[in-house]
C-alpha cells in the first residue's frame, strides 16, 4: 500500500476485527524468521508471533522443490552456527535435507507455538500516535511494538514480460512453483533462463525428456562442483568430537572469504578460476559453435558463478538444443525467437529468477509520512534498519547478499544487531529510528565502492536495480559486516 491508497477497512483499527497485541511480530519463517525467533526466545522474550503465508516453515527450502535443487555452499557453513548437524548426508545440502533441517530446528527450539501459517501480510503501517505497527494479514490483524520483516530476498518469482505468455496451453511453471504432477518423460520442454536454478534443472530432467530447448540470454560461468557424500567416519567424528566440525566450518569460511579479494579488491585473482572454467567447459563441449555460445562475454564473478558437473554434459546431449536468440513471443504450443524460429514445446519452465530489489512486499510496508519501504529500501542502514521506519528491522535487506559465501553469516550478524537493539530500547519503552544522515553516509560509501568491484564491471545482472545501482550485495568481507553489526549504537538513532 502506498500514499493515496483507499483506506483499508479490514485493518487493525476495524472494531469488527480486533487486533491481537504482541511485542514482537516476525514476518516469514525461513532461516531469517526462525533465527530471529530463536534469538528472542533465548533472550527470554516470548511475547511474539511469527506470521507465515505458507503452510509450513522453510522459506526458500520449502518453495524451491524443482529436481536437482541444492545449496551452492557447504552444509557445514550453510547452517546455523549454533545448530550444527553432524549427519549431513552430502557436503553440499540438497533442498529436501535443508527443509528437514529447518523443520527439526523449529521443533527443537519450541517455535511451533509462535507460528501462524496461512497468514499473508497484506499491509503494515506505523501508527505514530500509538507507537506501534498495525499489521493486516489474510487471517487476522495485529498490533506490534517491534516489526521484524524476514520476508526473503529471493521469494517472489519474476515472470518474463513476453507477449502471449498467458495463451500458452501446455504446462508453464516457474522454478520456485514446481508442479509435481508434471512428469518429464516424453515431453518437449523449454527452459527459459540459465541462472542458478536452470543449471540444476536442466541435467535433472534431460535424461527423461524427449527434447529440451534451453533459451540462454547470457552464458553463465559454470565451474566444477565438489559435492560428495559425507563418509560415516566423518559423521562419527562430528558427533563424537564436535570441534572437528567447527574446524572444517572455519576452514571453509576462510577459503570462501579469500574470494572477496578477487570480487572486490583485485579481479585478476579470479583469472585462475577462469582457466578452470574453460577446461571444465571444453572437456564436455566439443562443438566450436556451442563452445562460443557457452563462453561468457563478461568478467568471471560479475554474475553469480555456478557450480555443476553435469550441466555442460547435459547441454551436449543430442536431445538438447541451446538457443541464444531472444524469446519474443509465446504461442499456443510454441516459443518464438527474434530470428523468427518457432520452437514447438508442450512445457515451459521459467527459470527467470525473482523480484529482488522490487519485491512487491516493499509496497505494503508504510512508515512515517506515508512512505513505503519501496521508497526507502535503497536508504537502509546495515541492511537492517531504515530511516522513517521506527521499531522496524529488516533481515537480508539491501546490500546484505553475498556472491561468495553463506547467507547465514549475514543473517546471524543481523540477528546480533537486532538482539542488541531490542535489549537497548525495550526497557525505555521508547521508539527508535535510524538517523537519515547516518544511513545516507553509509549508503554513499557503499555506492562509491560497488562500481569498482567485479559486479560493477559492466554485465547486467539481478544484483542491479533498474537504475544500475547494486542494492543487493555486500561489497566486502563478512567479518567486516559482523564487526559493524556487533553493537546497536544508540548515537546512530533518534530515540524517543
Ligand atoms: C533456489 C535458491 C538457491 C539458493 N542457494 C543459496 C546458496 O547456495 N547459498 C546461500 O547463501 N543462499 C542461497 N539462496 C538464498 C536463500 O534465499 C537464503 O540463503 C536464505 O534461505 C534466506 O532465508 P530468509 O528467511 O531470509 O528468506 P526465505 O527463505 O525466502 O523466507 C522468507 C519467508 O517469508 C515468507 N513471506 C514472504 N512474504 C510474506 C508475506 N507478505 N506474509 C507472510 N509471509 C511472507 C515466505 O513465504 C517465506 O517463508 C538460494 C535461494 C534460492 C531461491
pLDDT, tens digit, 9 for 90 and up, residues 368-388:
999 999 998 889 999 999 999
State the closest ligand 1 atom to the C-alpha of 151, by its place in the atom list counted from 1: 34
Question: Once rounded to an integer, what is the mean pLDDT over residues 266-292?
Answer: 93
pLDDT mean over 423-451: 93
Query: How far is residue 314's CA from residue 322's CA, in Å, rounded to a whole number?
Result: 11
Dist. CA 30–CA 174, nearest whole Å: 20
User: In this structure, what C-alpha cell is assigned to residue 334?
Assistant: 510454441
Q: Band of the pLDDT at 26, cuts 50, 70, 90?
A: very high
pLDDT for 227: 97
Residue 104 CA to chain centroid, in angstroms?
21
Residue 446 has pLDDT above 50, yes or no: yes
Q: Which atom of ligand 1 is nearest to the CA of 122?
A: 41
Who has greater pLDDT, 377 or 43? 43
Mean pLDDT over 106-123 rounds to 98
Q: Is the CB of 120 under 6 A from ligand 1?
A: yes
Q: What is the mean pLDDT of the chain?
A: 94
Q: Is 482 exposed, middle or buried (0-12, 13-18, 19+ CB in 10 A)?
A: middle
Cα separations in angstroms, 294 against 220, 353, 357, 358, 406: 7, 20, 28, 29, 27
Which of 31, 33, 151 for a ligand 1 pocket mutation test, highest count of atoms within 8 Å of Cβ?
Answer: 151
59 lines ligand 1 (CB under 6 A): yes
Report whether residue 32 contacts ligand 1, using a CB cutoff of 6 Å. yes
Q: What pLDDT score does 15 carry?
A: 60
Model pLDDT, residue 376: 86
Q: What is the mean pLDDT of residues 5-25?
A: 66
User: Distance from the CA of 394 to the center of ligand 1, in angstroms?
Assistant: 13
Q: How far, in whole angstroms, is CA 21 from its chain's centroid?
A: 30
Taken as a whole, the chain contains a residue count of 496
- Taking the C-alpha atoms of residue 490 and residue 485, their distance in angstroms, rounded to an integer, is 12
Write phi, then psi, for 123 (nearest 5 degrees).
-160, 150
CB of 64 within 6 A of ligand 1: the answer is yes
* CB contact set of 206 (below 8 Å; sequence gap of 6+): 212, 314, 317, 319, 320
- Distance from residue 30's CA to the centre of ligand 1 (Å): 6
Residue 1 has pLDDT above 70, yes or no: no
Which atom of ligand 1 sits closest to the CA of residue 72?
A: 8
- Ligand 1 touching residue 367 (CB < 6 A): no
Candidate of 25, 29, 30 to mutate for ligand 1, largest count of ligand atoms within 8 Å of Cβ: 30
| Ligand 1 pocket, mutate which of 27, 39, 51, 59 (most atoms under 8 A from CB) | 59
CA–centroid distance, 427 to ligand 1, in Å, is: 32
Atom 19 of ligand 1, nearest CA residue: 407
Mean pLDDT of 288-303: 95
Give the model's pLDDT for residue 440. Answer: 97
Is the pLDDT score of 2 beyond 60? no
Instruction: For residue 215, report the phi and psi dihedrals to the nearest 5 degrees.
Output: -95, 110
Would you say residue 10 has pLDDT above 70?
A: no
In whole angstroms, what is the distance from residue 203 CA to residue 363 CA?
37
Q: Output the residue whose Cα is nearest ligand 1's atom 41.
A: 121
Q: Is 202 in the pocket of ligand 1 (CB under 6 A)?
A: no
Average pLDDT value for residue range 355-379: 91
Ligand 1 centre distance from Cα of residue 154 (Å):
6
Between CA 195 and CA 93 the distance in angstroms is: 19
Pull the grid cell for residue 103.
523443520
Q: How many CA atoms lie within 13 A of 188 on its CB side?
A: 8
Per the structure block, which three cell numbers stand in for 232? 560415516
Amino acid at each position: 500500500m502506498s500514499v493515496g491508497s483507499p483506506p483499508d477497512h479490514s485493518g487493525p483499527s476495524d472494531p469488527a476485527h480486533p487486533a491481537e497485541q504482541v511485542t514482537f511480530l516476525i514476518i516469514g519463517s525461513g532461516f531469517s524468521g526462525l533465527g530471529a525467533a530463536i534469538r528472542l526466545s533465548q533472550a527470554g522474550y516470548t511475547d511474539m508471533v511469527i506470521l507465515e503465508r505458507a503452510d509450513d516453515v522453510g522459506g526458500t527450502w520449502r518453495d524451491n522443490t524443482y529436481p536437482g535443487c541444492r545449496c551452492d555452499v557447504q552444509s557445514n557453513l550453510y547452517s546455523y552456527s549454533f545448530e550444527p548437524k553432524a549427519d549431513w548426508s552430502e557436503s553440499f545440502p540438497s533442498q529436501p535435507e535443508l527443509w528437514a533441517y529447518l523443520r527439526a530446528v523449529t521443533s527443537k527450539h519450541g517455535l511451533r507455538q509462535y507460528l501462524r501459517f496461512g497468514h499473508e501480510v497484506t499491509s503494515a503501517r506505523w501508527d505514530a500516535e500509538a507507537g506501534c505497527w498495525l499489521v493486516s494479514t489474510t487471517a487476522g490483524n495485529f498490533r506490534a511494538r517491534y516489526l521484524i520483516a524476514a520476508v526473503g530476498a529471493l521469494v517472489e518469482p519474476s515472470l518474463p514480460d513476453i507477449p502471449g505468455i498467458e495463451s500458452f496451453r501446455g504446462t508453464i511453471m516457474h522454478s520456485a512453483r514446481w508442479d509435481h504432477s508434471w512428469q518429464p518423460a516424453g515431453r518437449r520442454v523449454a527452459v527459459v533462463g540459465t541462472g542458478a536454478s536452470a543449471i540444476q534443472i536442466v541435467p535433472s530432467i534431460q535424461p527423461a525428456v524427449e527434447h529440451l530447448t534451453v533459451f540462454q540470454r547470457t552464458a553463465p560461468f559454470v565451474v566444477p562442483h565438489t559435492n560428495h557424500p559425507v563418509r560415516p567416519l566423518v559423521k562419527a567424528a562430528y558427533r563424537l568430537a564436535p570441534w572437528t566440525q567447527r574446524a572444517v566450518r572455519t576452514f571453509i569460511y576462510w577459503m570462501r572469504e579469500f574470494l572477496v579479494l578477487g570480487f572486490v579488491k583485485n579481479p585478476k585473482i579470479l583469472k585462475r578460476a577462469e582457466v578452470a572454467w574453460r577446461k571444465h567447459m571444453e572437456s564436455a563441449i566439443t562443438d566450436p559453435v556451442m563452445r562460443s555460445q557457452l563462453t561468457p562475454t563478461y568478467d568471471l564473478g560479475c554474475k553469480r558463478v555456478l557450480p555443476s558437473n553435469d550441466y555442460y554434459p547435459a547441454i551436449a546431449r543430442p536431445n538438447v538444443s541451446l538457443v541464444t536468440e531472444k524469446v519474443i513471443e509465446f504461442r499456443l504450443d510454441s516459443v518464438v525467437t527474434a530470428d523468427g524460429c518457432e520452437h514447438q514445446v508442450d512445457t515451459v519452465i521459467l527459470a527467470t529468477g525473482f523480484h529482488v530489489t522490487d519485491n512487491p512486499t516493499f509496497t505494503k510496508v508504510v512508515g512515517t509520512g506515508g512512505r513505503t519501504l519501496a521508497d526507502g529500501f535503497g536508504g537502509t542502514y546495515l541492511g537492517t534498519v531504515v530511516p522513517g521506519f521506527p521499531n522496524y528491522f529488516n533481515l537480508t535487506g539491501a546490500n546484505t547478499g553475498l556472491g561468495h559465501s553463506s547467507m547465514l553469516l549475514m543473517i546471524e550478524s543481523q540477528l546480533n544487531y537486532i538482539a542488541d537493539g531490542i535489549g537497548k530500547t525495550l526497557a525505555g519503552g521508547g521508539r527508535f529510528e535510524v538517523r537519515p544522515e547516518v544511513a545516507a553516509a553509509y549508503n554513499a560509501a557503499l555506492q562509491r565502492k560497488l562500481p569498482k568491484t567485479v559486479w560493477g564491471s559492466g554485465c547486467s545482472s539481478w544484483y542491479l536495480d533498474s537504475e544500475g545501482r547494486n542494492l543487493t550485495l555486500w561489497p566486502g568481507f563478512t567479518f567486516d559486516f559482523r564487526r559493524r553489526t556487533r553493537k546497536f549504537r544508540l548515537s546512530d538513532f533518534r530515540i524517543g
